[in-house]
Copies of this chain bind each other. A is one copy, B any other.
């Protein structure tokens, strides 16, 4: 098992079969422990783990559609009814929806209670659980409400991935490839089943997050593929997997990088090749207008302008004076939108 510290305060444990009470319980020594899971994880691991660590088990609904403020409030009401104080340790176990939502609840309940994350999907292990972001969606877009609230610890137990459906694995792969595109090109050369791929993707994210935890500058590069990706999810009412949306988004934003003259054509074609194994399709209810109106709520926007992370070669995002993103007019965007619709 590997132990890493994400500065300033998160301990990350990475390995197989690491959910021992001996490892988990020191974080909750004098505390009451509440384990929050969705229905699937409850049956697969939750009931058993709660018993082993003496935790109270709470279930929430899964699915990105349930990642709302209302659900977070329901979870908080449950904590209140149980009389949970600030000495309660909340362990959120599940995919990104569960960890984002439960971590958000933990961050605002009594102005913050101790938190541990146990991501159970590849996507959550390499992305959602790393970096301290919490969030819920609103009518206006993804993670429009949230906090930055680093957990005490993250337990990334790779043995949990055994039960992961193949579709879910592809979901995580899209974020891993994105890390290759913006920071660590070697990732793109590695065998897709090499377990070191996961560690490498996590290290990439930690490296970025530690330099800019509150996303004022460099951290924005992690948003590559997400300006279009998040908007696609909103357009599809979250019925498209995050990974698929990010894959389409990454490819489209690479196209935009090329169209704006930053990325050489041969680099773009290499990227196109990378995504060929994915069967990428725009959501049924897609329209150019709905995509543009969803992008109007992107969190990187300034002065009402949509801003994009762009790359000038594989592994290299453009710094743009430390902003790491560039406002792009709708007219400049048109060729990429047309290309997407083909």
Chain A interfacial positions (CB closer than 8 Å to B): 30, 32, 69, 73, 76-77, 80-81, 83, 85-87, 107-112, 133, 135, 138-141, 143-148, 214-215, 296-297, 299-304
Contacts of A32 in B (CB 8 A): 303
**A77:B133 contact, CB within 8 angstroms:** no
Asked if residues B112 and A147 are in contact (CB atoms below 8 Å), the reply is yes
Chain B hits for A108, CB < 8 A: 108, 145-147
A302 to B113: give the CA distance in the assembly, Å: 12
A69 CB contact (under 8 Å) in B73, B83, B133, B141: B73
If over half of A's interface residues share one DSSP class (helix, strand or loop), that class is named, otherwise mixed; here it is loop
A110: chain B residues at CB < 8 Å are 144-146, 299
Q: How far is the CA of A69 from the CA of B112 in the complex (A)?
A: 16
Name the residue in A77, A81, A138, A144 with the highest tally of chain B Cβ atoms < 10 Å from its Cβ: A144
Min Cβ gap A44→B in Å is 31
Q: In the complex, A149 Cα to B181 Cα: how many Å?
A: 34
Residues of B within 8 A of A302 (CB): 30, 85-87
Q: Is the CB of A85 within 8 A of B304?
A: yes
Q: Can you list 21 residue pairs at the A/B interface with Cβ under 8 Å?
A: A30-B303, A69-B69, A73-B138, A76-B138, A76-B144, A77-B138, A77-B140, A80-B141, A80-B144, A81-B140, A83-B297, A83-B304, A85-B300, A85-B303, A86-B302, A107-B147, A109-B144, A109-B145, A110-B144, A110-B299, A111-B135
Report Cα–Cα, A193/B296, bound state, in Å. 51
With the chains together, A73 CA to B140 CA distance in Å?
12
Are B111 and A146 neighbours in the complex by a CB distance under 8 Å?
yes
In the complex, the chain B residue whose C-beta lies closest to that of A135 is B111
Contacts A73-B69, A133-B111, A301-B85 known; A80 to B139 CB distance under 8 Å?
Answer: yes
Bound-state CA distance A138–B109 (Å) is 10
Q: How far is the CA of A312 from the CA of B229 in the complex (A)?
A: 60
